[in-house]
Amino acid sequence: MVQLSSNFLLVSFFMFLAATIFFTVSITGKKFENRQGQLKNKAGLLGYISSVVAVVAAITYFILRWIAAGHAPVSNMFEYTTFLGIAMALAFVIIYPIYKNNYIGLITMPIVMLIIVYASMFPTEVQPLIPALQSIWLEIHVITVALGQGILAIGFVGGLLYLLRVIDFKKVTKKVIGVEFILFTIFCVVGYILFSISFGAMNYEATFDYINERGNEANMVYNKPPLVGPNEGVLTSDTGFNPLVSTPAIIVSNDLNTVIWSILGGLLLYGLLLLLFRKPIGGAIQPLLKNVNPRSVDELSYRAIAIGFPVFTLGGLIFAMIWAQIAWTRFWGWDPKEVWALITFLFYAAYLHLRLSKGWHGERSAWLCVIGFALIMFNLIFVNLVIAGLHSYAL
């Protein structure tokens, strides 16, 4: 059953790929005359159908895995991140019919694919639930949060599209650097995935003896070639080489090593594209977007946030508090994850006030949407993996 569910996820992935291709064609491809003599391009519709099929397949994965495991597949990094990707696609599928904007599909679909592949870099087997997670509130709380974040992510897509459309890429300004940085970050994720898959396929493993932060001897496994080594590390495996530098004991050096590989990957991809286009990547994309109506994209992104914000608040704060009261005896305990959920809430609250009362439309609103999504990702990745807390069982 687990295998079957994974197959559905795979099908879903390829349908997202198909949707990406169709949306690309819908924008770059020629328009054809239909019988009524209207210029039409069916690719957008095909893209939407593909994305709907992909979401249906993904939901089938979700249900099958739920049945197989006995709990909703939202209990660890792989499962949650995958579901976040699915939620984002679902939000797109719901919003698309309102605005019929193929450009949103063009950006959403690759990001959904990236999120799902990123998720599969974490251990994917079905894990038993520890007692703290054995509650119906696991399903209620986590699914609602993911849906909320998925809808908010569409706001980010709208914001990014807006920026790519309106910013003047001819001169290198702070804004251009900002947009390029967003794209570079996405390339880093791609780099991380590519390196993880290639070294994973090689079963690469280098091990070190080192002195940990408590002054004890320990060993550490690297899954990527060690560019930075652990504190007083000594290579004990045949594979690998002596790293260029050693880190202080307080830094988890194999994680840092992975981060460095990701950045290198991002730089490589970015550099190649820069060589190819000989202008900022955003500037290379911009001509494709000349038919985007900025006001419509701006409204779409605001709409997504206005819809997603209550859902996120309900799941991430209200349901979270109810469950915390049942499982941890108190509804609020200033655990890092709780605090970052509150920060996300406050951020979007500030966004809504700025937009409604201070008239932050257009570009400023778009930047805020991007920052909001960065906060969501920060809370997912950094707070889970780096700032340990009560939620850190979630790996």
Partner 1 sequence: MEKVKCECGHVNPYGTYLCESCGKPLIEEDDSLVNMRYEGVARRSQTYKKTIVDKIWNFFSSVKVGIWIIVILLLASALGTIFPQEMYIPPGENPTIFYEQEYGTLGKLYYQLGFHNLYSSWWYMLLIAALGVSLVICSLDRVVPLHRALKTQRVTRHTKFLEKQRFFATSEEAIENAEEVMQKAEKALREKKYKIYNENGNLLAEKGRFSRWGPYVNHIGIIIFLIGAMLRFFPEMYIDEYIWVRDGQETVIKGTDGEYFLRNDQFIIELYDEEDERFREALERTGSPVVQTYQTSATLLRRVDNGAVGLGTELEEVKQHDIRVNDPLTFDGFSLYQVDYKLNELSEFTFTLEAVQDEVEEDLSEIEFTVNLYEPEMVYEFDNGFRIEIMQYFPNYRMNDGVPETINRIPDNPRIIFEVFTPEMDPETDTGEISLIGVQVNEPLNEQINGENQYRIRMIGVDMNNVTALTVRRDRTLPILAVGGAIFMIGLIQGSYWYHRRLWIQNRNGVLWVAGHANKNWHGLEKDFDYVASKSQIPVPVDQLDKDMSDETESRND
The residue (of 225 and 362) whose beta carbon lies closer to partner 1 is: 362
Told to check if 303 binds partner 1 by CB under 8 A, we report yes
Told to check if 41 binds partner 1 by CB under 8 A, we report no
H/E run at residue 292: none
Counting Cα atoms < 13 Å in the Cβ hemisphere of 304 gives 36
Looking at 125, 171, 216, 291, which residue binds partner 1 (CB under 8 A)? 125
* Residue 61 to residue 82: CA distance in whole angstroms: 10
Told to check if 371 binds partner 1 by CB under 8 A, we report no
Looking at 218, 260, 339, 374, which residue binds partner 1 (CB under 8 A)? 339
Told to check if 389 binds partner 1 by CB under 8 A, we report yes
Looking at 97, 131, 215, 287, which residue binds partner 1 (CB under 8 A)? 131
CA nearest to 343, candidates 85, 335, 188 = 335
Looking at 94, 121, 343, 374, which residue binds partner 1 (CB under 8 A)? 343
CA nearest to 106, candidates 164, 151, 63, 44 = 44
CA nearest to 151, candidates 341, 308, 377, 375 = 308
Told to check if 291 binds partner 1 by CB under 8 A, we report no
Told to check if 354 binds partner 1 by CB under 8 A, we report yes
Looking at 335, 374, 381, 385, which residue binds partner 1 (CB under 8 A)? 335
Q: Is 35 exposed, middle or buried (0-12, 13-18, 19+ CB in 10 A)?
A: exposed
Told to check if 349 binds partner 1 by CB under 8 A, we report yes
Told to check if 347 binds partner 1 by CB under 8 A, we report yes
The residue (of 31 and 330) whose beta carbon lies closer to partner 1 is: 330
Looking at 42, 53, 60, 99, which residue binds partner 1 (CB under 8 A)? 99
* Residue 243 to residue 245: CA distance in whole angstroms: 6
Told to check if 134 binds partner 1 by CB under 8 A, we report yes
Told to check if 252 binds partner 1 by CB under 8 A, we report no
Torsion of CA 133, 134, 140, 145, to 10 degrees: 10
Looking at 46, 56, 218, 306, which residue binds partner 1 (CB under 8 A)? 306
Looking at 4, 32, 34, 70, which residue binds partner 1 (CB under 8 A)? 70
The residue (of 31 and 295) whose beta carbon lies closer to partner 1 is: 295
* Residue 251 to residue 254: CA distance in whole angstroms: 9
* Shortest Cβ 296–partner 1 spacing (Å): 7
The residue (of 4 and 346) whose beta carbon lies closer to partner 1 is: 346
Per-residue tokens: 212 = 């940990």
Told to check if 307 binds partner 1 by CB under 8 A, we report yes
CA nearest to 212, candidates 250, 256, 255 = 250
Told to check if 326 binds partner 1 by CB under 8 A, we report yes
* Shortest Cβ 113–partner 1 spacing (Å): 26
The residue (of 209 and 363) whose beta carbon lies closer to partner 1 is: 363
CA nearest to 144, candidates 133, 132, 156, 152 = 152
Are the CB atoms for 78 and 124 separated by under 8 Å? Answer: yes
Residue list 136-165, contact with partner 1 (CB under 8 A): 137
Q: Where are the alpha helices (DSSP H) in the chain?
A: 2-28, 43-69, 77-99, 102-119, 136-166, 174-201, 253-277, 281-285, 294-313, 320-327, 336-357, 362-377, 383-385
* DSSP structure string for 167-227: S--SS--HHHHHHHHHHHHHHHHHHHHHHHHHHHHTT--EEEEEE-TTS-EEEEEESS--S
Size, binding site for partner 1 by CB under 8 A: 65
Per-residue tokens: 258 = 């992975």
Looking at 122, 184, 199, 331, which residue binds partner 1 (CB under 8 A)? 331
* Shortest Cβ 128–partner 1 spacing (Å): 4
Positions touching partner 1 (CB under 8 A) are 2, 68-70, 98-99, 123, 125-128, 130-132, 134-135, 137, 166, 250, 294-296, 299, 302-303, 306-307, 309-310, 313-314, 318, 321, 325-327, 329-331, 333-336, 339-340, 342-343, 346-347, 349-350, 353-354, 356-363, 383, 387-389
